[in-house]
Structure 1
C-alpha cells in the first residue's frame, strides 16, 4: 500500500504542476487512512504474539511491529496534513514556506525505509532500509538549505552517516563470515558468547544509536536541526529515532548492558544539562529529544518490557507533535521574523505570547507538564510505567538517574513556559490571521490524548494483556 502511494506520488510529481499538488496530499492521506484500517485488521489476527516471516525470512511480523506501523502511519498523516495546509493556505504560512512538490515523495521514501527496518529479519534488508532512511533524510535536509551554515550541517550529517554505515557494514560482514548467514535469528546468546562476537554486536548497535544522535556524537544533530526548516525538523527529529530504537527493542541485537547503561546515563546527562544552556528554541527541543531518547535507551536494558516502551514511545510522539505544532501556530503572533524557513529561532521571541493567545499558552503548558511527567497527563504514566519496570528489574541506580534527569530537564521546560507568560514584547503583534480549523482540530485531538492519559493507560494496558500475552 505504501509502495503504491509512492508510485502514485512520483507519477503526480512528474506529470503535474505545483498547483496540482493538492491532489498528492489528498492521495497520501487516503492511502494512509486505508493502511491504518488494514493494519488494524491485521493486528487483530496476531493476538497470540507469534512472529511470522515471509519472503524467505527477509521480513518478520508480530504484534509489536503492527503497533509501531500504526503509530508511524498516524505521524505520517499528521505531517502530510501540516504540509498540505502550509502549501495552500493564503495567509502567513504562504510567505514562510517555499513549496517543494518533491518533498512528499522524500517523506514516503523515508517512511518506507522506517517500515522495512521495523520488519527486517535479515542483515541485507536491515542495511538497505537504514540507507533508504538516511539518504532521504540527507535530501530533506539539503532541499531548503541556501546558507553556508545550513549546507555545512547537511554535509556533516552526510559524512557522519557514511562513516557509521561503513561501521555497520563491517560488523554485518564479520557476522556472515563466522555464521554463514545473514538471518538475525541465528544471533542467539549461545552462539554470540561462543564465538565472542560481542564486539561486533556493540559496533552494530552503536552505529544505529549514533545515527540518531545519541551522546557523545550528538552535536552534528543539533546543528542540523537548527538549520532545517521547522516543518522538516518535526519529522526528522522523530521518525528515525522511532524506527531505530524500536528495532533495537525488537531484535536480538543487543550490546553489553554496562555499555548501554553508560551510554544511557551520558545521554540523559547531556540532554538534561545541555538544554539549560540553550537560548534557541529548536536546540532546546533537540536536547529535550535527546533526554527522551535516553529514557528509551534505559528500556532497552530490560527484557520483555514491550508495554513500557510502546507506551512511552506513543506519549512522546504525541507530545512531540503537539509541541512543534504550537511552535508553528506561534508564527502568527511574531512580528520579527528571523528568516524564511525558521521564523521563530529564539525563546525570547515567545515573550508575551500569553497576552495574544492565552489558549495557545495553556496548550503549551499542558505539553510542558506532560514532558515533565505531571499527573494526570500522558507523560506521567509513561514515566511511571518506565520507573516501575526498572525497579521491578533491580535497576535502582538507573531509576535514581531517571528521576534526577527528569528534575533537571524540568527547569528548561518551565523556562520556555515562563517566557511565554511574561510581559508583552514589541516583537509580538495582534495578528488578524486565524488558525485553520483543520489544524485546530488536530491540535485539540492531541491535547485530548494527553489530558485523558489515565484512560489511555488503562485501555492500552488491557489491549496489551490481550495482544501480547
Structure 2
C-alpha cells in the first residue's frame, strides 16, 4: 500500500500544483490508512511468528511490530500538525516522507545484510534531501551537506563490515549468521565495525558532533522528524538482532553517551543543541535495555516518542508566539521561552518532568523498568551511572522550566492557537499524565508478545 501510494503521488505530480496545502491532509489520510492495514495484518503473526518474506530478505516477528506502529503514529501526528499550521508541506517533501517511511517500516524486519545496506541508504538519502529541501535557508543547505558527508562515512564503514562478515561466514542471511556465531562462539572486529557505523548514524558519543550541528542548522520542523524516526528505526534493528553486537563495545558507547549527554548541556543556551544532547542521553539509557534484551525497551520508546512529540509540537507552536529570530527556526535560545499561553507552558513543564523521571509521568516508569532489568542482569555500575546522569540532567531541564516561568508574569493578552493543534496537544498531554493507568495492560500485552 505504501509503495502504491508513492507511485500514485508521483503520477499525480504531473497534473496539479505542487504548493497546494491539501497535500498535507492527503498524506495524513494515506498514513492513517496504512496504519489501519498494518493493524489488520497482525493476525499473520498469530498464525506463524517469524514468517519470512521476499526470499528470506525480511522476517516478520512480534518484537518488530510495536516499533513500526509507533513510527506510523508519529508520522501521522507530524503530518496532521503541518496540515493545521502555518507550515506547508510541498509535494516533494510528502513523497520523500512516504519514501522514508518505506525504509523505516522495513528496517526492523531486515534479515539480510544486502537489504540492510539498501534500506539504510534509502532512509538516509531521503533524510538528506528532506533536510535541505528548504533551500532558501542557508543553514538548511549547510545541514543537508554536513548530514550527507557524515552519513556517507558511516555507510562506508558499514559496507566494509558487511564485506568482511560475508567473507567470514559465507552468507548474507542474518539467521544463518546467528547459527554460525552460536556454533563458533567468537567475537570479531567486523561486527564491531557494523555497530560503529550504526552508532555513527544514530549520533551516539563519541561520534556525535555532526548530529549537534545538523539538528541546530536544520529547520525545527525537520529536527523534530530526524531526532525521532532515524534513531528509533536503527535502535529497533539493534534490538531485533542483539546477538550481532558485542555488549562490551556497546557499553563503551553507553558510558560516553550518558556522560556527554548529562554534562555538555549544562553550559548550553541553544534549545535545539540541548534537545540533541537530551536525545543522546535518552538513547544511552536505551542501550542498556538493548543489552538486557528486555521489554523495558518498548516502555522507554513509548515514553520517548510521546514526550518528544508533545515537546516539539509545543516548541513549534511557541515559535509563533514570539518575535522570530529566523523563519525556519523561530525559537532558538532559552531566553525566548516567554510564551503568552500559560496552558502551553504547563504542558511543556509536564514534558520536562517526564524527561527528569518524576512520578507519575512515563519517564519515571520507563527508567524504573530499565533499572530493574539491569539489576536482573547484574549491571550494577551501569545502573548507578544511569541514576547519576539522570540527576545531572535534571539541572538543565529545570533551568528550561525556570526560563519559561517568566511567561507566568507576562501581563500581555493570551494568544490562542489553532483548535486542531490545541486538541492534539491536549490529547498528548492527557496521555502523558494518565500513562500509569494503562501501564498494567501494556505490561500484560508485552508479556504475551514475548511468550
Report the TM-score when normalising by structure 1. Answer: 0.91
Structure 2 CA distance for aligned equivalents of residues 410 and 193 of structure 1: 46
RMSD: 2.1
Task: Name the counterpart of 1:36.
Answer: 35
| 1:312–1:49 distance in 2 versus 1, CA, 3 Å | farther
Task: Name the counterpart of 1:74.
Answer: 73
Task: Name the counterpart of 2:318.
Answer: 330
Q: Is the 8 A contact 1:10 1:105 kept in 2?
A: yes
Q: CA deviation at 1:234?
A: 0.7
Q: Is the 8 A contact 2:140 2:219 kept in 1?
A: no
Structure 2 CA distance for aligned equivalents of residues 192 and 219 of structure 1: 36
| 1:83–1:192 distance in 2 versus 1, CA, 3 Å | same
Q: Is the 8 A contact 1:39 1:69 kept in 2?
A: no
Structure 2 CA distance for aligned equivalents of residues 177 and 391 of structure 1: 38
Structure 1 CA distance for aligned equivalents of residues 58 and 41 of structure 2: 16
Q: Is the 8 A contact 2:68 2:104 kept in 1?
A: no
Q: Is the 8 A contact 1:370 1:378 kept in 2?
A: yes
Task: Name the counterpart of 2:434.
Answer: 452
Task: Name the counterpart of 1:231.
Answer: 221
Structure 2 stretches lacking a partner, 5+ long: none
The aligned length equals: 451
| 1:338–1:268 distance in 2 versus 1, CA, 3 Å | same
Structure 2 CA distance for aligned equivalents of residues 41 and 350 of structure 1: 43
Q: Is the 8 A contact 2:178 2:244 kept in 1?
A: no
| 1:98–1:453 distance in 2 versus 1, CA, 3 Å | closer
Q: CA deviation at 1:425?
A: 8.8
Residue correspondence of structure 1 range 226-375 to structure 2 within 5 A:
226-303=216-293, 305=294, 307-334=295-322, 336-351=323-338, 353=339, 356-375=340-359
**1:385 maps to which of 369, 374, 377:** 369
Structure 1 CA distance for aligned equivalents of residues 256 and 178 of structure 2: 28
Q: Is the 8 A contact 2:134 2:141 kept in 1?
A: no
Residues 177-228 of structure 1: per-residue CA shift (max 9 Å, x gap): 2322110112227537739552101100110111011111111111111111
Residue correspondence of structure 1 range 11-50 to structure 2 within 5 A:
11-22=11-22, 24-47=23-46, 50=49
State yes or no: 1:406 paired with 2:390: yes
Task: Name the counterpart of 1:439.
Answer: 421
Q: CA deviation at 1:269?
A: 0.7
Q: CA deviation at 1:48?
A: 8.0
Q: Is the 8 A contact 2:261 2:280 kept in 1?
A: yes
Structure 1 CA distance for aligned equivalents of residues 161 and 151 of structure 2: 15
| Partner SS state of residue 53, structure 1 | strand
Task: Name the counterpart of 2:159.
Answer: 169
Structure 2 CA distance for aligned equivalents of residues 219 and 173 of structure 1: 27
Residues 363-405 of structure 1: per-residue CA shift (max 9 Å, x gap): 1111111111111111111111111111111101000011011
Q: CA deviation at 1:441?
A: 1.4
Task: Name the counterpart of 1:90.
Answer: none
Q: CA deviation at 1:297?
A: 1.1
Structure 1 CA distance for aligned equivalents of residues 373 and 186 of structure 2: 30
State yes or no: 1:119 paired with 2:109: yes
Residues 380-436 of structure 1: per-residue CA shift (max 9 Å, x gap): 11111111111111101000011011111111111111111126799x96465x311
Residues 439-462 of structure 1: per-residue CA shift (max 9 Å, x gap): 111111111111111122111111
Report the TM-score when normalising by structure 2. Answer: 0.95
Structure 1 stretches lacking a partner, 5+ long: 87-92
| 1:34–1:261 distance in 2 versus 1, CA, 3 Å | same
**1:181 maps to which of 155, 171, 184:** 171
| 1:113–1:429 distance in 2 versus 1, CA, 3 Å | farther
Q: CA deviation at 1:466?
A: 2.2
Q: Is the 8 A contact 2:341 2:414 kept in 1?
A: no
